[in-house]
Homo-oligomer: A and B are copies of this chain.
Amino acid sequence: MTNIRKVAELAGVSVATVSRTLKTPDIVSPGTRDRVLAAVEQAGYRPNLMAVQFRSQRTRNLVVLVPTIANTFFARVIGGIQEMAQRRGYGILLCNTLGDERAERAYAGMVSTRQADGLIQLRAYDPFTASNGKTRPPMVNACEVLDAAPCPTVKLDNRAAARAVTEHLLALGHRRIGMIKGPRNSPLTRDRLLGFQDALAAAGLTPDESLWCPGDFTPPSGHRAAGDLLSRADPPTAIFCENDEMAMGAMRRIRESGLRVPDDISVAGFDDIAFASFCDPSLTTIAQPAEEFGREAVSLLLDIIDDRDDAADKHRIMPFELVVRESTGPVN
């Protein structure tokens, strides 16, 4: 491996001069600079970044904990993270945690052990809980956010968004509205449920909890939950799904029962993934700026890392938009 000493020898200068030529060319005399650059070229020298990182105690890597990369929405968020990280000179260490907290804590260790300078968590779990008394490593929590997050957060006003969807369904005349939720202990699910209830309450309706089915954000779980709802004696006339993946599973199940969307049952989703506008019928949903979530999370994280920041309590609320398409219509 050609190292800085070889180059120095080749150019007839000291290692310091080589280092300076590459990092601060302006303080090296033009003649020397040319000689060094020629030697660099000739030797095909590339600085060993492990050494640079080690010396500077900065890896310029960020750990990203993602529950499932297979989820289209997260894929977009990661795209945004990667884009902004690259722009700021950072790399992304991707960790598909599948929601396993042991794995998340293990991955979080990559920051403690200096494999990365900071961490972005896309789930409501603090992987540094067990850090006993130590200073918290730089972290940002995005998408599904802890209630009392010990770090900056980036999230949607899920309550308001869910309320908007529900009001849309109410305006179409629906009164019995089913809900296909996410996992029980998720703050995201809880907030969307609250927004749902807000809208019902404002309309003077009492929610029927028997119409709330849990899912896990995958199409099969939406399919299953819709099956549950349809088998009721008095099935709902509309179903609000907490994400588009489950909505697509639900629509499938509805059609399998010989019913039509939206003529017999309306379906609304959440996220506005790419397929939402291409499936049949196209899906009424909440559009989120997924890539922007990622970019913003990186921005906040680098603020902490670069110490351009004193407050760990910056909280960004991202905008949403109700996108009405074909899957919702007037109650039959």
> A residues within 8 Å of B by Cβ?
44, 46-51, 53-54, 57, 59, 61, 68-70, 72, 75-76, 78-79, 82-83, 86, 91-96, 103, 109-110, 112-115, 132, 134, 218-219, 223, 245, 248-249, 251-252, 255, 274-275, 277-280, 282
A274 contacts B251, C-beta separation under 8 Å: no
A69 contacts B82, C-beta separation under 8 Å: yes
B96 contacts A94, C-beta separation under 8 Å: no
Q: How far is the CB of A45 from chain B (nearest CB, A)?
A: 10
- A218–B252 Cα distance when bound, in Å, is 22
B49 contacts A115, C-beta separation under 8 Å: yes
Contact partner, A115, options B91, B249, B279, Cβ 8 Å = B91
Taking CB as reference atom, which chain B residue is nearest A59? Answer: B50
- A13–B95 Cα distance when bound, in Å, is 37
A115 contacts B50, C-beta separation under 8 Å: yes
- A83–B68 Cα distance when bound, in Å, is 11
Contact partner, A72, options B51, B59, B72, Cβ 8 Å = B72
* B-chain residues with CB within 8 Å of residue A274 when the two chains form the complex: 70, 218-219, 245
- A280–B94 Cα distance when bound, in Å, is 33
Closest 4 CB pairs of A and B: A54-B54, A94-B94, A49-B113, A82-B96
A78 contacts B50, C-beta separation under 8 Å: no
B83 contacts A76, C-beta separation under 8 Å: no
Contact partner, A75, options B70, B92, B110, B248, Cβ 8 Å = B70
Question: How many copies of this chain does one complex carry?
Answer: 2
A72 contacts B69, C-beta separation under 8 Å: no
B78 contacts A91, C-beta separation under 8 Å: no
- A290–B265 Cα distance when bound, in Å, is 35
B91 contacts A92, C-beta separation under 8 Å: no
A113 contacts B46, C-beta separation under 8 Å: yes
Taking CB as reference atom, which chain B residue is nearest A115? Answer: B49
* B-chain residues with CB within 8 Å of residue A103 when the two chains form the complex: 86
* B-chain residues with CB within 8 Å of residue A46 when the two chains form the complex: 109, 112-113
Q: How far is the CB of A288 from chain B (nearest CB, A)?
A: 14
- A102–B318 Cα distance when bound, in Å, is 33
Q: How far is the CB of A8 from chain B (nearest CB, A)?
A: 18
If A46-B112, A69-B82, A91-B95 are given as contacts, then 6 extra A-B residue pairs at C-beta distance below 8 Å, sorted by A number, are A44-B132, A44-B134, A49-B115, A50-B115, A83-B96, A275-B275
> Which one of A61, A69, A132 has the greatest number of beta carbons of chain B within 10 Å?
A69
- A44–B275 Cα distance when bound, in Å, is 48
Taking CB as reference atom, which chain B residue is nearest A244? Answer: B275
B96 contacts A93, C-beta separation under 8 Å: no
Contact partner, A93, options B44, B54, B93, B114, Cβ 8 Å = B93
Contact partner, A50, options B57, B109, B282, Cβ 8 Å = B57
B61 contacts A70, C-beta separation under 8 Å: no
Q: How far is the CB of A120 from chain B (nearest CB, A)?
A: 12
* B-chain residues with CB within 8 Å of residue A218 when the two chains form the complex: 274
Q: How far is the CB of A148 from chain B (nearest CB, A)?
A: 24
> Which one of A91, A219, A249 has the greatest number of beta carbons of chain B within 10 Å?
A91
Taking CB as reference atom, which chain B residue is nearest A279? Answer: B279
